[in-house]
């Protein structure tokens, strides 16, 4: 919208609120000043930059009026086609310009600094960010918003990004952020472990919003509901600040009394320790370098990370609202008859070391487990064929030797 500024006797453009005027990036002086700001922080050791609301940086040079979606409807931002105020082509040149600046610093110390961009845009635009110099164009495609959790939609979005992104690009995923409702508020805290496991189990970069690791909820306000102070302890203001003289600008969620880092740290079945356990798996070669296979069993979603000559890991998650029993062996090839639980969400009723049958597994709603074939033996293979490449080559060698 345009707002009149009495002192300057001019209108200025703002796309968010009146005290956030848009900068005119068609003015070279703005580019020069922004580079000064970037150099200031780079000189202080900054490892990269995150560009917020990137799609809004440029507007059409002609400043045309945008057509209304429903001409008879209200004159509101949501009732316009935003052809001229978002996703302009000049954005790519700006990314290249800042990427070049970061590379200047890399040439001095051989340390790579990254660009992360935030833009709710179609995939084709986001993939152009990659080729323009963005290492992490934030992937919001799994952000639940207000839709129901759905295994099929989740699988489609994961596959689309991984298969269509440019070669040598890095996958990333974000499930919660400051602009949207937290998972615990949308679906209940019984789903937080499962969604965290999904984020951490996928290849590439997991982008975690503060408080997600302990299951924080939104505070009951109209705006800024997901921006309450981090809940560190059960002390005043959740340990975020030390008293009334430093009172936070927004209320603490009342759940801080029992849901906080200090208490969860000492509870082996807490959301925090589940999060830490899954994070630890990311140090394995399988999760760092391995491939990804996905399977859908109604609302049970299954992801397997595999790497030759290494153990496989499989995440099994119930995204539905009812318990479900599945036969993993029906869809997953080369599967042992039994697998070992590595991690289980508290509502799964599985503990590390438990053995599951791949012929029949029941998961509670919102529950998830991660299993491995690391401890499987030939005796546990049941009727499912699982032959490693090394064994196959050995058999061929023996047959050839016998024929000599």
pLDDT in tens, 21-54: 999 999 999 999 999 999 999 999 999 999 999 9
| Mean pLDDT estimate for the chain | 91
The single-letter DSSP state of residue 21 is P
CB 132 within 8 A of CB 96: yes
Predicted TM-score of the model (pTM): 0.88
Among 6, 61, 87, 118, the active-site one is: 118
pLDDT tens digits, residue range 163-215? Answer: 999 999 999 999 999 999 999 999 999 999 999 999 999 999 999 999 999 99
Give the confidence band of 155 by pLDDT, cuts at 50, 70, 90. very high
Give the confidence band of 376 by pLDDT, cuts at 50, 70, 90. confident
Looking at residue 148, its pLDDT comes to 65
Percent over 70 (pLDDT), the chain: 92
Coil/strand/helix, residue 154: helix
Helix intervals (H) in 266-335: 271-281, 285-289
Is 52 considered catalytic here? yes
Least confident of 17-26, 226-235, 361-370: 17-26
Give residue for tokens 């499912």: 384
Looking at residue 377, its pLDDT comes to 63
What is the CB neighbour count within 10 angstroms for residue 210?
16
How many residues are given for the chain? 404
Among 22, 33, 47, 52, the active-site one is: 52
What is the CB neighbour count within 10 angstroms for residue 179?
14
């Amino acid at each position: 919208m345009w707002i009149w500024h009495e002192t300057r006797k001019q209108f200025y453009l703002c796309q968010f609120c009146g005290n956030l005027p848009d900068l005119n990036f068609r003015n070279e002086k703005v580019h020069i000043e922004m580079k000064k700001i970037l150099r200031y922080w780079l000189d202080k050791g900054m490892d990269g930059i995150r560009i917020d609301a990137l799609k809004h940086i440029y507007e059409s040079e002609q400043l045309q009026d945008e057509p209304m979606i429903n001409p008879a409807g209200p004159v509101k931002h949501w009732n316009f086609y935003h052809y001229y105020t978002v996703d302009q082509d000049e954005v790519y040149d700006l990314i290249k310009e800042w990427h070049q600046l970061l590379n200047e610093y890399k040439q001095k110390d051989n340390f790579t600094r990254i660009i992360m961009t935030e833009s709710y845009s179609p995939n084709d635009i986001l993939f152009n960010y990659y080729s323009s110099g963005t290492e992490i164009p934030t992937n919001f495609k799994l952000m639940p918003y207000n839709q129901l959790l759905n295994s099929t939609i989740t699988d489609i979005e994961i596959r689309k990004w991984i298969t269509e992104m440019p070669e040598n690009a890095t996958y990333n995923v974000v499930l919660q952020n400051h602009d949207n409702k937290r998972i615990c508020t949308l679906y209940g805290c019984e789903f937080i472990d499962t969604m965290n496991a999904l984020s951490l189990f996928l290849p590439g970069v997991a982008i975690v919003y503060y408080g997600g690791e302990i299951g924080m909820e939104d505070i009951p306000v109209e705006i800024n509901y997901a921006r309450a102070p981090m809940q560190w302890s059960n002390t005043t203001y959740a340990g975020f600040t030390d008293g009334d003289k430093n009172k936070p600008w927004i209320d603490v969620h009342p759940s801080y009394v029992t849901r906080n880092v200090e208490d969860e740290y000492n509870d082996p079945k807490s959301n925090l320790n589940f999060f830490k356990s899954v994070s630890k798996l990311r140090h394995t070669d399988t999760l760092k370098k391995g491939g990804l296979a996905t399977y859908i069993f109604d609302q049970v979603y299954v992801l397997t990370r595999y790497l030759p000559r290494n153990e496989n890991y499989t995440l099994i998650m119930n995204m539905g609202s009812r318990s479900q029993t599945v036969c993993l062996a029906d869809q997953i090839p080369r599967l042992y008859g039994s697998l070992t639980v590595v991690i289980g969400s508290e509502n799964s009723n599985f503990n590390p070391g438990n053995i599951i049958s791949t012929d029949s597994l029941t998961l509670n709603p919102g529950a998830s487990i991660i299993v491995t074939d690391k401890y499987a033996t030939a005796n546990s293979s049941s009727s499912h064929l699982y032959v490693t490449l090394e064994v196959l080559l050995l058999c061929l060698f023996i047959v050839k030797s016998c024929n000599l």
